[in-house]
Structures are given as structure tokens and as C-alpha cells.
Amino acid sequence: MQTSQTPQDELYREAVATYGPALVRMARSWDADADARKDLLQEMHLALWRSMATFDNRCSLRTWVYRVAHNAATSHVLRGRRGRAKTFLSIEDAEAQGDLAARDQSHPALEQAQTVERLYALIQSLNPLDRQVILLYLEGIDAASIADVTGISSGYVATKIHLLKNLLADRFHNGGPYVQR
Amino acid sequence: MSSDNSPLCNLWQSQPQDLFQMSPEELRKKRKHLNRVLLIRDSTVWFVCLFEIGWFAWILMIVPQLVAKIGAILIMFGMAFMNSQVWLDQRRRRRSHERAETSGNINSLDFFRSELARQCEFHRGLWFWSRMAAFFPGLLIFSTGAIVVFPWPDNLVGYSILAVTVILFPTAVWLNLSKSRKYQREIDALDALKLPPA
């Protein structure tokens, strides 16, 4: 039976068509476990669909989508944290730590895959807010929009991005051509 | 859109991945399923509460000592109070999650902060001390009453309950307050991020 599409359904489809791939990357960044990641992705989509009933264009669709997805992911990770007593790092903590991961630079494709895997591992070690900053940065969002989505003052966003660039350069520059300081 | 088209950002955005999407029908089904899960969770709290009250009501009937009876009644009230608090906390948490998760008007920092603040409040202040006050006096009176009537070495259970209560209370206070301090440090760090850097 074909159900008629409501405006909420239409908005949801539009959001997923544009930001669906970013949501998949976000879910993978938030949970290393494949089953839990699938649950998280469903939770994000459900939250997004429900949120579209109240979307009023007061902010851009992009800001709205990233906020809703991040809030759903924060709930997800804090639920897991209660059981596992996990400690999160900030970008500042991560920068102070060394990178202990081994790198295999023998093959370009393998190196790319390893770089992406190490990025995911780095993001998963960060606290929820810094995860959002690094994810938005990697998605190519500018600093002013990151401040808008996260609620962090633009000054601190600039500081965090500066630290983030140093961190990424330290960890990835020697392993390949992916980071410029 | 892009603030920095570094090779790493390009590599990140060009990852091969499976497309994930849900139809509105699937989403409606998922919402129904979640509502059912929440209903079961709420019902479990009430079931546990009724079981505990029934258990101590039975003890109330079989123990002859007045002090132990008073202790059992206090424990019943304490457990009912604790369960109602847990149920209220679950309901409040669910409502705030629903509101925040489904609203793009709440930024990431405010949502994360409200989550930490709620967890912090659970471990300190009136919310925490009322749970302690509701639970421990009954246990203390119940075990003391049992010990007075059946002194050592006839009443190992009574002594054990008293010993556990005496150890448990300060331990619970210490654990909860240290957890709340940890949350408060995280909240303070978040608050600092709202202002321009010093």
C-alpha cells in the first residue's frame, strides 16, 4: 500500500539526499562496533525525521541536520559511557599525546585506508563536542558555521581548529601527503 | 562551503560507503517499536517496586519485634520512594531527550551540557540526599532491632546487614559526590567554551 508523503517526509528525504553520506561517516566516527553503529544510524535518522515536523527555517537545513544528528549521537555515546566508564579526551589532550599507531607506507591504497582508519580511531577517543568540531572540519564546514552548529564561541572554534590542524599534521603528515599545516 | 580543502578533508569526504536510508514507513514502525520498549522499561520499574514492597510486607508479618517491624515499614516506604524517583528520572530524561534530539534549535554544546547537568544532579544535592534519607534509616533500624532481640552469635544475618549498611552509606556518599564533581568539572569546561578565549 502506498502511503502519501507528508511535508515532514519530503523534508526528511531532501535532508538525507544531501547529508546522508555525512551521517554515515558521523555514525562510523561515533561507534567502532558495527552493530551499535547501525543502531546509531537508525537513531539519527529517526531523530531527523521526527525533527522535520518542527523545522521552521530559523537556521539552515545543514545546521539543523548536524545538530539533530549530533544530539542523537551524544545520547548514544553517553548511554554507552555509563556502562563502560569511558574517559574522553579533548583535542588539547590528544595533541599532547603521541601517536602510537604503526603505519604501513608500502602501498598508496593501503596507506589511504590506514589513514582513514586512524582518523576514525582518533575521533572516537575525543569527547562529544570535540568530535563534532573535527567532523565538521573534515566535512569542509567553515569556522563560523561550526560555531553556529556547536554553540562554541567563534574564538574557541578558531583555537580548536588551529590545534586540530597541528594534531592532524603531527599524526598524518609523516604518513602521507594528506595534511598541510 | 568548504573552509579548508586539504587533501585529508578530500580523502575523508571521498570515502567509499554504502548508502543508508529509511523509508517513512520504516521510521514510523521504528518509532512504534521504541515506544513499546519504553513502556516495558517503565513497567519493569513498577514491577520491581511492587515485588520489593511485597517482600518486606511478608517480613513485616513474620518478625515479632516492634523495632524490626518499624524498620521493615521504613524500608518499604524508602524503596517505594526510590523507585518513584527512578521512574520520574527516566520519564524526565526521556522527555528531554525527545525534545533535544529532535530539535535543531538546540546546539551541540547546550545539549551535551544539559545531559551532564542532569547526571550531575542525580549524584548530589536534594535529589541524592532524599534517596539516601529514604533508604538507609529503615535498613539501620531493621538490622539494629534484629540484633537487639537476637544478640551475637545467634543473628549473623542481622549483624551482616548492619555491617553492610554502615559500610555502604559512606561509600555511596563518597562515590556519588566524586562522580558529581567529575561531571561538574566537565560542565565548567563546557561553560568556558561559550566565552571568547582569555
pLDDT tier at A26, thresholds 50, 70, 90? very high
The whole-angstrom distance between A107's CA and the closest CA on chain B is 16
For residue B27, give the nearest of A46, A128, A154 by CB distance. A46
Q: Prior bond to A108 cis, omega within 30? A: no
For residue B1, give the nearest of A140, A156, A178 by CB distance. A140
Cell of A72: 542523537
Report the C-alpha gap between A157 and A130 in whole angstroms. Answer: 10
Is pLDDT at A36 greater than 50 in this prediction? yes
Helix axes A7-30, A61-84, angle to 10 degrees: 40
Q: Is A114 an 8 Å CB contact of chain B?
A: no
Report the C-alpha gap between B7 and A178 in whole angstroms. Answer: 5
With the CA atoms of A176, A178, A180 and B3 taken in that order, what torsion angle do they form, in degrees rounded to the nearest 10? Answer: -170
- DSSP readout, A90-159? PHHHHHHS--------S-HHHHHHHHHHHHHHHHHHB-HHHHHHHHHHHTT--HHHHHHHH---HHHHHH
- Tell me if the domain spanning A1-86 has CATH number 1.10.1740.10: yes
Chain A 115-154, residues with CB within 8 Å of chain B CB atoms: 115-116, 119, 127-129, 132, 137-143, 148-154
Choice between A152 and A86, residue whose per-residue pLDDT is larger:
A152
**Span A80-108, average pLDDT:** 59
> Is residue B4 within 8 Å of residue A140, measured between CB atoms?
yes
Global pTM reads 0.74
Q: Which of A45-54, B46-55, B76-85 has the highest mean pLDDT?
A: A45-54
Q: For B144-193, what is each residue's pLDDT tens digit?
A: 777 777 776 767 777 887 788 888 888 989 999 999 999 999 999 999 98
For residue B108, give the nearest of A46, A67, A179 by CB distance. A67
Report the C-alpha gap between B101 and A13 in whole angstroms. Answer: 18
Domain ranges of chain A: 1-86, 89-181
Three-state SS for B114-151 is HHHHHHHHHCCHHHHHHHHHHHHHHHHHHHHHHHHHCC
**Predicted pLDDT at A100:** 44
Q: For A66-90, what is each residue's pLDDT tens digit?
A: 999 999 888 888 776 554 545 666 7
The whole-angstrom distance between A6's CA and the closest CA on chain B is 9
**Predicted pLDDT at A181:** 45
User: Burial code of B53-91, b = ≥16 C-beta within 10 A, e = fewer?
Assistant: beebeebbeebeeebbbbbbbbbbbbbbbbbebebeeee
Q: ipTM of the predicted structure? A: 0.76
What is the Cα gyration radius of chain A? 18
| Cell 554502615, residue located | B166
Choice between A95 and A166, residue whose per-residue pLDDT is larger:
A166
CA B162, B166, B169, B171 torsion: positive or negative?
A: negative
Cell of A23: 551521517
Contacts of A70 in chain B (CB under 8 A): 108, 111
For residue B3, give the nearest of A70, A142, A159 by CB distance. A142
